Amino acid sequence: MNAYSIVRVPMKRRLNKTCCDCGAYAIKLMECHLLGLDISLVDDQNILGCRHKIAVDLWQAANDPELVDRMSKYEPPQVDPFDYVDIV
């Protein structure tokens, strides 16, 4: 394992007031980070639209013939269930 650092990212206060959008927030915040977008673009005003877009994207992926074909041929890697790294 390599060393990593933790960076505090300034965020708006009082996000996720509904307490049921944490998954959508997590996905959209990762997306913003990966695309180099400002994280302040995601807030309670537009998170419902984000949830709808995530649902549509998942539905489209689940019905994509090429993806369905690839997933039907997927074989998970053989992993030792007791192979772990002790982080101290």
pLDDT in tens, 25-39: 899 989 998 999 988
- Please give the model's pTM, rounded to 2 decimal places: 0.64
Predicted local confidence at residue 59, as pLDDT: 94
Q: Which residues of the chain have pLDDT under 70?
A: 1, 83
Q: Give Cα separations from 22 to 14, 36, 64, 65, 83 (angstroms).
A: 12, 21, 27, 30, 31
Predicted local confidence at residue 66, as pLDDT: 94
Instruction: For the chain, give every domain's residue range.
Output: 22-69
Joined tokens for residue 5 = 């650092």
